[in-house]
A = this chain, B = another copy of it.
Amino acid sequence: MKESKVPTLKSIAEKLNISVTTVSKALKGYSDVSPVTRQKVLDIAEELNYTPNSIAVNFRTKQSKTIGIIIPEVVHHFFSSIINGVIEEAERQNYFVIILQSNENKEMEKKQVELLISKRVDGIIMSLSNQSNDEDYLKKIIDRNIPLVLIDKISKLIDCSKVIIDDKKAAFDAVNHLINIGCKKIAHIRGPLNPQNSIDRFLGYKTALDHHNIPFDSSLVYPCKRVCYEEGYDFTKQLMNDHPDVDGIFAITDLVAVGALTYLNDQQIKIPNQVAVIGFSNWFMSSVISPKLSTIDQPGFKMGAQAFLLLKEEMESMRNAGKRVCKTITLNTDLIIRESTSK
């Protein structure tokens, strides 16, 4: 192998004929090094393209200035907005972000937690896979005193800081809006049975029906497995066969709602007059498709930024006081009314 060209403290010291200690002190701005010497060291460091070895530095301070984030899927608009928020805030505070995606797979998530622990990250932000609940590897993060913030897809059984929205209230708002515009028979294309946000949105749907004395009918609830466009399309087809008189659909997320819109458009079923549709999340695409989709705005970017700030608070609390903060921040959602529910 070619000889390494990487300049070291030693090479700077040799060039100036001074000690390595003096070079090190000069670079750190210690006052017992004369300004003249300091300037010489800085000039040579610049000339040699010297970069401090942060692994060595971190090894001393025991901070890696790196955090890890594990999320189900990067390509989802909502999750990429979260990442965006985390990265922007982390960059501002000179932290690095290692991003890993679990692909909604518990085994993968476990492996990733272990990798992050072995990488000695300063803290971890996670949005759980649909399969995860009170898993041992999540408890291990707590046992090892590693700061942890759960975001959006959380487990109530893990005692740590969380950044969430009130999914139940947001779903209530969506379904309440459908009822207010005159819908009497509302279907819910829901998420899988395990994740907390899927449960809470379903409960919000039920509560809104209750609130208006509309009896709950379980045959109007269709559970997605992958929460994708195709399921939205196929369940709407099945729904229109099972219940031709349905007049409203509340979908677990915009992607599923867009699948529903496409099926209804293909069948020339009038939206919203025959069937009104509302989604959840407010993806960009929802504002440009036709008809434009009503939805719940979920502030992904802000959630990501908040999650980093909360993690930072955790990291400082662990370092200074040896204890967790364990705070839950609930961010507001907004009902966005567009063409798909404007009768």
What is the interface of chain A, defined by CB distance below 8 A to chain B?
1-2, 4-6, 49, 51-56, 58-59, 64, 66, 74-75, 77, 80-81, 83-84, 87-88, 91, 94, 96-101, 108, 114-115, 117-120, 140, 143-145, 229, 258, 261-262, 265, 284-285, 288-290, 319-323
The residue that A289 contacts in the complex, of B98, B114, B140, B290, with Cβ under 8 A, is: B290
- Using Cβ atoms and an 8 Å threshold, which residues of chain B touch A55? 55, 58-59, 64, 119-120
A85 to chain B, nearest CB (A): 10
Give Cα A322–Cα B96 distance, bound, in whole angstroms: 28
Q: Is the CB of B96 within 8 A of A51?
A: no
User: Assembly of this chain: how many copies?
Assistant: 2
Cα–Cα, bound, A117→B52 (Å): 9
Contact of A75 (CB < 8 Å), options: B1, B81, B321: B81
Q: How far is the CB of A53 from chain B (nearest CB, A)?
A: 6
Q: Nearest B residue to A96 by beta-carbon distance?
A: B98
Q: Known contacts being A66-B98, A97-B99, is A2 close to B322, with CB within 8 Å? A: yes
Q: Please name all residues of chain B whose beta carbon is closer than 8 Å to the beta carbon of A265 when the two chains form the complex.
A: 290
Known A55-B59, A120-B53, A288-B289: A91·B84 in contact at CB below 8 Å? no
- Contact assessment for B74 and A83 in the assembled complex, using a CB-CB cutoff below 8 Å: yes
A323 touches B2 (CB 8 A): yes
Residues on the B chain within 8 Å of A143, using CB? 5, 49
Q: How far is the CA of A162 from the CA of B74 in the complex (A)?
A: 23
Besides A51-B117, A97-B100, A284-B285, 8 more A-B contacts (Cβ < 8 Å) are A1-B319, A51-B114, A74-B80, A75-B81, A88-B101, A97-B98, A98-B99, A290-B290
Q: In the complex the two chains form, is A1's CB within 8 Å of B285's CB?
A: no
Nearest first, the 8 A-B pairs at minimum CB distance are A2-B322, A285-B285, A290-B290, A1-B322, A54-B118, A51-B118, A99-B99, A80-B80
Determine if B290 and A118 form an interchain contact, defined as CB atoms under 8 angstroms apart: no
Residues of B within 8 A of A81 (CB): 75
A290 to B58, CA, bound (A): 53
Residue in B74, B87, B323 whose beta carbon sits within 8 Å of that of A101 in the complex: B87
The residue on B at minimum CB distance from A91 is B100
B residues in contact with A4, CB < 8 Å: 145
- In the assembled complex, which residues on chain B have CB atoms less than 8 Å from the CB atom of A77? 75, 77
6 contacts between A and B (CB under 8 A): A4-B145, A6-B144, A55-B119, A66-B119, A74-B87, A99-B99
A81 to B77, alpha carbons, bound, how many Å?
11
Contacts A59-B59, A144-B49; is A119 near B84 (CB within 8 Å)?
A: no
Q: Which residue of B is nearest A119, CB measured?
A: B54
Q: In the assembled complex, how far is the CB of residue A275 from the closest CB belonging to chain B, in whole angstroms?
A: 17
Contacting A285 at CB < 8 Å: which of B83, B97, B289?
A: B289
Residue contact B5 to A145, C-beta cutoff 8 Å: yes
A84 to chain B: which residues have CB within 8 Å?
A: 74-75, 101
Please, which residues of chain B bring their CB within 8 A of the CB of A64?
Answer: 55
- With contacts A115-B96, A140-B49, A258-B288 known, is A80 near B87, CB below 8 A? no
Nearest chain B residue, comparing its CB with the CB of A262: B288
Closest B residue to A6 by CB, please name it. B144
- Are B99 and A83 closer than 8 Å at their CB atoms? yes
- By a CB distance below 8 angstroms, the chain B residues around A320 are 1
